[in-house]
Amino acid sequence: MMNGTGIAVVGAQFGDEGKGKIVDCLSSSADAIVRYGGGANAGHTIVAQERTFKLHLIPSGVVRGKRSLMGAGMVIDPRLLVQELDELSSAGVLVDESILGIDVRAHVILPYHQSLERARWRTSLIGTTGRGIGPAYEDAAARSGLRFSEFIDPSQFLHRLPEIAEEKERVIGMHLGETGEEAVPPLTDVQSEYVGLASRLSSFACDVSHEANALLKEGKTVLFEGAQGTFLDNSFGTYPFVTSSHPIAGGACTGAGVSPRAITQVHGIAKAYTTRVGSGPFPTELFDDIGDQLVDVGHEYGTTTGRKRRVGWLDVCQIKRAHELNGFSCLHLTKIDVLAGIERLRIAIGYTLYDGSQVSLAPPDARQWEDAIPEYIDLPGFPQISEGEWREVVQESATRGFAALPTNALRYVQKVRELTGIPIASISVGPQRESIVWPKNAEVAQHARHPVPAQAILI
């Protein structure tokens, strides 16, 4: 019997919704944070005490010194993880490394995975992050992957490495039309570097699944931090323009190793508009001045690759599909401040598909998204206000809740709630940790079975 609260935090769009910031907030009242999927393709940005932290592998709860666990569903790049550890330690954020844990079942990314991905770029149109994510998950599914438990055992690792290197060189060679040898580092170099990395990381090995279950059994709160977003899900996203893992809420169970009954709340995170990195259909994409403005004001450049993000209007057809897939208890709407100064705001509420049919739910086959023509509703925009004025809005919200927002910003939020049917838990109005407007008259959502942490009071 589980008495605790399990909260999954899930991206409702194409990733980069601002999950890191919300996980950072919610983690103040959590006992542990478990990242359940993906790898260093993710980039979670947290701005706290005037410092910016960009996390790729370590869960966002680390900034608050909470037990931060990397689940079995993740693919771990040891080189990047050590780099991240060193950066956090030298910034004084990670004082006690024993707060970190890596599930022994997680898979390990080797340089061969990245070389293979790069070799495939010649023919692949997906626009992946180049972090070896796809090839590592392929190995996991093919049952030939390297698990963290094997990686940190030198005899097993040294036994498996030559066979892995040989197979990957052969496949890379096939892609490049030559031997793959030049495309990968020499085996002896990989051996010495990775044995060193394994010894640096070995103390983190643990059974994340058991630990999360035990905490929940004791009545504690565990956050399950998603990476990427619903429409990058390998099964339910815009396939093939997706990642290789399962960012949806169900992925929290398979990636962290907990029962669906352990997830008591699912918090969806959506930007007040839409962005996407890499290729793939994007019905509400903007190619005009408003799009440029959103990129500039919202600093819409990928945290991991620095690529300019594609931007577009908020798409309720997608949010509704995401709600169906994830069962959101509530929605955190981020970056509404970026919309300030745009005269007319648009929200997509339906699509006309190539055969003339009209739908209000994003269709199941991504090919149907490609020439979908969005139907919009228009709402009046709200004026540009300074950073200082946004700070006043946040202060005022302590007593007035969402009513402290500029009138038309509030109207926009109310429209999102009305169109999606999802209670809005918070509205983010700037990059800082504090720049969040919480509602006033707390009314816990009927369908949230447990009380939510103090900050996440729903309207």
Count of residues of this chain found to bind ligand IMP when the rule CB under 6 A is applied: 20
Name which position in 27, 45, 221, 243 contacts ligand IMP (CB under 6 A).
243
- Between CA 436 and CA 22 the distance in angstroms is 9
- The interface with ligand IMP within residues 206-225 (CB under 6 A) comprises none
Best CA proximity match to 254, nearest among 285, 212, 282: 212
Contact window for ligand IMP (CB under 6 A) among 172-180, 226-234, 285-293, 357-365: 226-234
DSSP secondary structure code for residue 147 in this structure: B
Q: Is the Cβ–Cβ distance between 171 and 116 less than 8 Å?
A: yes
Best CA proximity match to 164, nearest among 144, 140, 189, 191: 144
Contact window for ligand IMP (CB under 6 A) among 123-131, 157-165, 332-340, 427-435: 123-131
Taking the complex as a whole, the smallest distance from the CB of residue 401 to ligand IMP amounts, in Å, to: 31
Q: At what angle do helices 249-256 and 208-217 cross, to 10 degrees?
A: 110
Check residue 107 for interaction with ligand IMP (CB under 6 A). Answer: no
Closest CB to ligand IMP among residues 264, 303: 303
Best CA proximity match to 186, nearest among 157, 164, 165: 165
Contact window for ligand IMP (CB under 6 A) among 125-133, 196-204, 338-346, 418-426: 125-133
Closest CB to ligand IMP among residues 302, 350: 302
Check residue 228 for interaction with ligand IMP (CB under 6 A). Answer: yes
Check residue 128 for interaction with ligand IMP (CB under 6 A). Answer: yes
Which helix (DSSP H) or strand (DSSP E) does residue 22 occupy? helix 19-26
Taking the complex as a whole, the smallest distance from the CB of residue 240 to ligand IMP amounts, in Å, to: 9
Closest CB to ligand IMP among residues 44, 66: 44
- Per-residue binding letters, 255-284, with ligand IMP (x by CB under 6 A): ----------------------xx------
Instruction: Report H helices in 265-315.
Output: 289-297
- Tell me: cis bond preceding 260? Omega within 30 of 0 counts: no
Check residue 13 for interaction with ligand IMP (CB under 6 A). Answer: no
Check residue 23 for interaction with ligand IMP (CB under 6 A). Answer: no
CA distances from 316 to 13, 92, 137, 273, 377 (A): 10, 41, 31, 10, 11
Closest CB to ligand IMP among residues 309, 402: 309
Name which position in 133, 258, 286, 409 contacts ligand IMP (CB under 6 A).
133
Q: Which amino acid is at 62?
A: V
Contact window for ligand IMP (CB under 6 A) among 126-134, 315-323, 434-442, 443-451: 126-134
Taking the complex as a whole, the smallest distance from the CB of residue 381 to ligand IMP amounts, in Å, to: 27
**Catalytic residue list contains 44:** yes
For residue 257, the tally of other CB atoms under 10 A from its CB is: 22
- Between CA 177 and CA 42 the distance in angstroms is 31
Identify the residue whose tokens are 């049952």.
Answer: 143
Contact window for ligand IMP (CB under 6 A) among 21-29, 60-68, 122-130, 437-445: 122-130
Check residue 134 for interaction with ligand IMP (CB under 6 A). Answer: yes
Best CA proximity match to 264, nearest among 7, 34, 1: 7
Residues 6+ apart with CB under 8 A from 145: 107, 108, 136, 139
Name which position in 104, 198, 232, 424 contacts ligand IMP (CB under 6 A).
232
Contact window for ligand IMP (CB under 6 A) among 121-129, 183-191, 344-352, 375-383: 121-129
Best CA proximity match to 117, nearest among 143, 136, 94, 141: 136
Check residue 15 for interaction with ligand IMP (CB under 6 A). Answer: yes
Closest CB to ligand IMP among residues 128, 368: 128
CA distances from 197 to 43, 104, 147, 293 (A): 22, 15, 14, 43
Taking the complex as a whole, the smallest distance from the CB of residue 60 to ligand IMP amounts, in Å, to: 13
Check residue 244 for interaction with ligand IMP (CB under 6 A). Answer: yes
Judging by beta carbons within 10 Å of its beta carbon (0-12, 13-18, 19+), is residue 213 exposed, middle or buried? Answer: buried
Closest CB to ligand IMP among residues 59, 134: 134
Taking the complex as a whole, the smallest distance from the CB of residue 282 to ligand IMP amounts, in Å, to: 11
Check residue 42 for interaction with ligand IMP (CB under 6 A). Answer: yes
Name which position in 79, 82, 83, 127 contacts ligand IMP (CB under 6 A).
127
Catalytic option among 24, 31, 44, 337: 44
Strand-strand pairing, 107-108 and 436-437: unpaired
Q: Is 305 helix (H, G, I), strand (E, B) or coil?
A: coil
- Between CA 58 and CA 88 the distance in angstroms is 10
Catalytic residues: 16, 44
* Interacting residue ranges for ligand IMP, rule: CB under 6 A: 15-16, 41-43, 126-129, 131, 133-134, 227-228, 232, 241, 243-244, 277-278
